[in-house]
Homo-oligomer: A and B are copies of this chain.
Amino acid sequence: MSPENPEPAKLGLREKKKMKTRRTLQQQGMRLFREYGYAATTIEQIAEASEISPSTFFRYFPTKEALVLEDNDDELLIESFRKQPAGISLIQAFRAAAKEGFAGMTREEQTSLAERMALTMSVPELRAASLIHMNDTLLLIAELAADRLDRPRDDFEVMMFAGTIMGAMMAVQLHCFEHPDEDFTAVTDRALALYEKGVPLGTAGL
């Protein structure tokens, strides 16, 4: 490839402008969505507000949805998960990784995430794209878990474990959507704590 930047800030003028345009598009997009609604806002309007041509929009984001959904949470999660000690169980490791992932975000990132998540839950188009992403994340978790346990990638129990986690995340999102006052990270941890105790299946009166 190219000589990777060994240090962070070492970008040419080109890269810098591109990053600026990206941010502008996302900010203007979110502003317009807030103001006029997601469906009512056209890509032409976002492009105009960002002072680029409509065609250029698609060189930055493959779809209108990506403007809202793009994030690098997965990478953070992977990193955190891999760092977890071997002594603890899968769920414990996953719970800890999630906690660390959230903790590593700035206040601003957390606010943005919350707003984008709320929008995602209320726009079917976005919810669909988000769920596809969760589907992919399921496979990712299965991979991480299999590696950790030294089991094959398509181990059935491992797949079910990953499914359990993603199902929990779906339920957490729905819960948070219905209870906007509760903190997403807290609810997530609460859910994972529940699973850590092995609860919501045959025990506890269920």
Contact = CB atoms under 8 A, between A and B. Distances in A.
Given A132-B127, A157-B206, A167 B174 contact: no
Given A157-B206, A159-B175, A201-B201, 20 more contacts: A90-B206, A91-B202, A128-B131, A128-B132, A135-B174, A157-B199, A157-B200, A158-B200, A159-B174, A160-B200, A163-B171, A164-B164, A164-B167, A164-B168, A164-B200, A166-B170, A166-B171, A167-B168, A196-B202, A198-B201
Contacts of A149: 205-206
A203 interface: yes
A162 interface: yes
22 contacts: A89-B206, A90-B201, A128-B132, A131-B132, A131-B135, A142-B171, A156-B190, A157-B199, A157-B204, A157-B206, A158-B200, A159-B175, A160-B199, A160-B200, A161-B200, A161-B206, A163-B171, A163-B174, A164-B171, A166-B167, A198-B198, A201-B201
Interface of A: 89-91, 124, 127-129, 131-132, 134-135, 138-139, 142, 145, 149, 154, 156-172, 174-175, 178-179, 190-191, 194-206
A90 to B, nearest CB: 5
Interface hub of A139, A195, A197 (most chain B Cβ within 10 A): A195
A191 B201 CA distance: 13
Contacts of A195: 160, 201-202
A168 to B, nearest CB: 5
Interface hub of A131, A171, A197, A203 (most chain B Cβ within 10 A): A171
Nearest to A173: B135
A161 B201 contact: yes
A170 B135 contact: yes
Nearest to A195: B201
Nearest to A194: B160
A138 B174 contact: yes
Interface hub of A165, A197, A202, A204 (most chain B Cβ within 10 A): A202
